[in-house]
């Protein structure tokens, strides 16, 4: 049935045939899920799962990677911060990376963190407790006292230039001096842009009057407002700003820095306040872990008394020298942590349980609810994951149920409220819900696979599957066909114009112009977008084909390993499984997919349509730039940290892989060399020193590629 939550894996572990957990397959699934939700949260401002559920996925991913460092692959979302910046705005490279924070969720976890800090800082320390604003991290730069740039966090290294939009926020000082005396030559202030609740409600009131769609919550509204192409639109959104950290400062010639900025975090906040920056007044400096927990509990109870939304408390070591001593991991400081409040819960009536069909045929049950306002938005649908979850939670139509939500569109049904109305424990409760045996879209059989929790529609001609497969093929992570969303795919399928993805490449402007929602110009734009997608590399095509278990990381690994689709299709399953980051589960799934005559037929039609079936930059691929390179780094692992002049991160990795090497994201005793560019990760440099790994200056990267040897210091 259309209209329910799209196919969304429940995160259950994959198993090998012998019943043991397969960490490779689970890592691949987790990386795909986290990358997908990173993109929704950081780039599209439209998260689809609660924060707590996302945090659990990230925690599991990092736990497996920590236990199996040999399985870490370049670019894993478990080793990075945020998501890549949007192409709508100019990129900004942060002078000092904007790191994320590690999360804790219980008093026990919080005490474990303070205990770790205490063990490192034998002289004791004080803590600063601040409210965790639910907004968008922002970096403000001032030169000679004048505001000159604003940038989002992005992936922590590169953000988006949103200067014109941020300049419309009344809280942002246009100039700084005053109490500071002579303005610094350079000042970077970091903080959070947010939308006050009153402004959010007013925005939705205007949307309602204009007949537009209501915005989901203040956080998404703030992020979306900042990413408007027209700053005039941003100016109407009544955004606000809290500063929470000094990112960097350089004194004007002949002057010295204020002494406070080198002493403590609390003194720095006070200095920023005197300089005219808004600093949240609800903060405290405390001496003991028990006082930290008391602050957290107090604000958890009072969170709805505030005129803006918070989702936790940030706890920081106050002394700046102690912060430097504690250092940081590749993604987060060790001297700070975010104590996340539990997701909010509300009760409502479960009216019905229905089933949606995803691109692989997976049938996902979802709850139809009486609308309820929870976690910042009105909710009427919630996923129930699979048949087992419905049975375990024992929810039935007519029940009063607990709905848990943490600021996203699709919440979680926790379970029935015992004894409430017609809910569980009441005599008038309905019989247990049973999974349907027929697909709600095509009427074909629904079959639960042996030893799996998922149920599938087995009719490959099911229009519900077809719509989801084609929409996935056109998605940003795959072939990135702009303007081809699910609604348009549904239109084309309904008109008989689309049976599979290869049909897209036969579209002509005359075929589309005059259809519902299409004029001459929009038809031309879509045909051009489809034509542009022909040049996407093999790795993107593999993502788009929607092979079960094969996500972005595995697709890139296979494309780089084999260079062409023909070589990949001809390779035995064992060769696919041997590729780092793939493994037996993914390999078996890929082989099964290409064994299908129907799938091979689609591939041949894509070939005839002129799609790219090779991976650029891979030796022997036949693609310009893919000519054979000397294998100077064969069998060697080279880690890159920081920004290298003349190379993007992907280009540097491709240069290493193209010469036979590997480019993992972390340093180990087996690493051949660490190449450091501008703003390298401190943890990687420390790991290189600990393991005795040679460190190569980024300016000599080309020499390393040419010779395959660590350049000498001369």
| Contact present, 331 and 38 (Cβ < 8 Å) | no
How distant, in Å, are the alpha carbons of 34, 273, 327, 386 from that of 55? 9, 32, 23, 21
Residue 672 phi/psi, 5-degree rounding, is -75, -45
Encoded tokens for 115: 């205990």
- Measured distance CA(554)–CA(546) in Å, rounded: 12
Q: Which of 132, 316, 636, 662 is catalytic?
A: 132
- Measured distance CA(42)–CA(153) in Å, rounded: 9
CB neighbour list of residue 294: distance below 8 Å, 6 or more residues apart? none
**SS (HEC) of 162-186:** CHHHHCCCCCCCCECCHHHCCCCCE
Cα-trace Rg, the chain: 27
Residue 550 phi/psi, 5-degree rounding, is -95, 110
Three-class SS of residue 350? strand
Taking residue 476's Cβ as centre, other Cβ atoms within 10 Å add up to: 12
Nearest Cα to Cα of residue 417 among 406, 409, 408, 429? 429
**Secondary structure (DSSP) of 211-262:** T-PPP--HHHHHHHHHT-SSHHHHHTT--EEEEEEEEEEEPPTT----GGGG
| Contact present, 339 and 312 (Cβ < 8 Å) | yes
Three-class SS of residue 86? coil
| Contact present, 141 and 186 (Cβ < 8 Å) | yes
* 132 flagged as catalytic: yes
Supply the residues annotated as catalytic.
132
């Amino acid at each position: 049935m259309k209209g329910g939550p799209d196919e969304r894996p429940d995160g259950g572990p994959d198993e090998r045939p012998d019943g043991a957990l397969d960490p490779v397959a689970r890592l691949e699934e987790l990386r795909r899920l986290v990358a997908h939700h990173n993109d929704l949260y950081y780039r599209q401002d439209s998260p689809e799962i609660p924060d707590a559920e996302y945090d659990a996925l990230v925690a599991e991913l990092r736990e497996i990677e920590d236990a199996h460092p040999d399985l870490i692959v370049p670019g894993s979302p478990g080793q990075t911060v945020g998501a890549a910046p949007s192409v709508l705005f100019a990129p900004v490279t942060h002078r000092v990376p904007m790191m994320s924070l590690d999360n804790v969720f219980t008093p026990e976890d919080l005490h474990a963190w303070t205990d770790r800090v205490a063990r490192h800082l034998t002289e004791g320390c004080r803590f600063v407790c601040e409210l965790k604003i639910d907004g968008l991290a922002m970096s403000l730069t001032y030169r000679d006292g004048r505001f000159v740039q604003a940038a989002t966090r992005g992936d922590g290294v590169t953000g988006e230039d949103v200067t014109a939009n941020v300049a419309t926020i009344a809280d942002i000082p246009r100039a700084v001096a005053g109490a500071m005396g002579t303005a610094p030559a350079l000042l970077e202030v970091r903080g959070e842009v947010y939308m006050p609740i009153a402004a959010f409600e007013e925005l939705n009131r205007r949307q309602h009057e204009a007949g537009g769609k209501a915005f989901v919550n203040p956080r998404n509204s703030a992020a979306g407002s900042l990413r408007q192409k027209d700053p005039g639109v941003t100016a109407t959104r009544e955004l606000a700003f809290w500063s929470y950290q000094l990112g960097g400062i350089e004194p004007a010639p002949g002057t010295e820095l204020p002494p406070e900025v080198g002493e403590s975090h609390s003194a720095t906040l006070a200095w920023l306040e005197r300089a005219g920056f808004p600093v949240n007044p609800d903060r405290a400096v405390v001496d003991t872990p028990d006082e930290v927990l008391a602050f957290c509990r107090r604000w958890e109870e009072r969170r709805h008394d505030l005129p803006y939304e918070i989702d936790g408390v940030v706890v920081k070591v106050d002394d700046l020298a102690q912060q430097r001593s504690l250092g940081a991991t590749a993604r987060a400081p060790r001297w700070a942590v975010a104590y996340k409040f539990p997701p909010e819960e509300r009760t409502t009536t479960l009216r019905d349980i229905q089933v949606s069909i995803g691109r692989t045929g997976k049938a996902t049950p979802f709850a139809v609810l009486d609308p309820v306002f929870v976690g910042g938005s009105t909710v009427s649908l919630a996923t129930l994951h699979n048949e087992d979850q419905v049975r375990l939670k024992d929810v039935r139509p007519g029940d009063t149920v607990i709905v848990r939500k943490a600021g996203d569109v699709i919440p979680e049904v926790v379970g029935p409220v015992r004894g409430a109305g017609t809910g569980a424990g009441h005599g008038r409760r309905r019989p247990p819900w049973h999974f349907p045996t027929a697909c709600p879209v095509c009427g074909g059989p629904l079959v639960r696979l042996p030893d799996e929790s998922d149920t599938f529609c087995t009719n490959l001609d099911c229009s519900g599957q077809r719509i989801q497969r084609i929409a996935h093929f056109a998605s940003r992570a795959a072939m990135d066909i702009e303007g081809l969303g699910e609604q348009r795919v549904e239109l084309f399928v309904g008109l008989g114009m689309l049976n599979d993805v290869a049909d897209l490449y036969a579209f002509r402007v005359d075929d589309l112009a005059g259809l519902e929602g299409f004029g001459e110009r929009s038809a031309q734009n879509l045909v051009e977008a489809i034509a542009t997608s022909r040049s996407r590399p093999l790795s993107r095509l593999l993502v788009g084909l929607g092979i079960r278990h094969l996500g972005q990381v595995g697709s890139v690994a296979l494309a780089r390993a084999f260079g062409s689709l023909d070589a990949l299709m001809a390779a035995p399953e064992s060769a696919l499984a041997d590729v780092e980051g793939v493994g037996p589960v993914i390999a078996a799934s890929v082989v099964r997919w290409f064994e299908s005559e129907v799938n091979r037929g689609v591939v041949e039609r894509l070939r005839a349509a002129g799609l790219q079936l090779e991976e650029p930059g891979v030796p022997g691929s036949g693609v310009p730039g893919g000519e054979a390179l000397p294998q100077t780094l064969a069998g060697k692992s080279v880690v890159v940290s920081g920004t290298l002049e003349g190379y993007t991160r992907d280009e540097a990795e491709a240069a290493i892989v193209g010469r036979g090497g590997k480019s993992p994201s972390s340093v180990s005793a087996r690493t051949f060399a660490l190449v450091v560019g501008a703003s390298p990760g401190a943890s990687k440099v420390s790991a290189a020193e600990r393991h005795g790994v040679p460190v190569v200056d980024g300016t000599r990267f080309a020499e390393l590629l040419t010779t395959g040897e660590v350049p000498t210091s001369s």
